[in-house]
Structure 1
Amino acid sequence: MTRVLIVQGHPDGEEQHLCHAIAEAYRSAAEDAGHRVTVINIAVGDIPCLRSKAEWEGSDLPQVAVTGQKAVQDAEHIVLIYPLWMGDVPAMLKAWLEQVLRKGFAFEMSGRTWRPALAGRSARVIVTMGMPGAAYRWFYMAHSLRSLDRNILRFCGFRPVRRSIFGNAEDPSGKAQAKMLKTAARLGARAQ
């Protein structure tokens, strides 16, 4: 049994999107396989943006950071699911990551050296997009996904960090979406 945290990073809380269906397929298969799953839907919380170094380093955490840190601390495997927006992570998900993965919780700094504090946890990033996944990988070099992997997740100690790029998310035939849901369920059953 693996303790899994799914962070459903689609910022629209008014209607269901492909990211919600992917999160549900992953969750359902993981629970059916005996894994314990917690889901955080970032669209339903109040996530304040950090505006200064003093605020980021402060000890007065908003509730979203307290809840997020507890969920990350309890998890062995983190799954981030989000749509590619303007070539990057949606701003609301980035704000959640900044609130939760703070110095003193996710990593320690001493002068110019750092020590990751979340070692022993793995991560899976699932990103959806309208363009073909191969175009994002090869033409755009998966720039923002590589940055999230290297500069945030691995920096904090997550290893391994696996990636799933789900392109053609708006396929009118529905075949691409069906394949995505099947893949999400397969990953969820293995807690990968």
Structure 2
Amino acid sequence: MALVLDAAAQDLLFRQARTAGTFTDEPVSDETVKAVYDLVKYAPTAFNQSPLRVVLVRSEEGRRRLVQHMADGNKAKTEAAPLTAVLAADLEFHEELPRLFPHFPQAKDVFFSEAQAREKSSTFNGAIQVGYFIVGIRAAGLAAGPMTGFDADALNKEFFGDGKHKVLAVVNIGKPGPDAFPRSPRLEYDEVVTTV
């Protein structure tokens, strides 16, 4: 086999993992979320950017604030999930670049002096980090239910009223319930990959 990662880990992270629409009521601890973050923070991004910001929604009040902005099809499952994470991109991520990318401390000013460039880069690299976060959730033996069905402007105001963040996804997290979505088909290698 061409992969170094053993088959059981491949199954846990990809082949047997499913998007969960329901969860058991088993709680997800702060220690587990910290372990997930402490793993995925090492995944690569451009210039070592780390624009991802995470709001963990645990309280009834927080859940009420979140659910009111979710699309109708996402409200019930978000209400029932043991933990929900609002994942956003920090549009001012560049302020941390001198510390996070010390090999080129002037990158902050050379590449990200304009707000439009910062937003494009934070959105792209934040989305990459969202993917890593979901794989990290799976690595913890949990299921993730990522969603983009929400009022983004309302969530930005509700959880990041400073105008310096952009919500990218909302992810329900927990032990999967009995009706995780069945595996849907995927495109095959030859449908996706070409060589030039």
Point out which structure has higher relative CO (alpha carbons under 8 A, 6+ apart). 2
Taking structure 2 as the reference length, the TM-score comes to 0.27
As a proportion of its length, which structure holds more strand?
A: 1
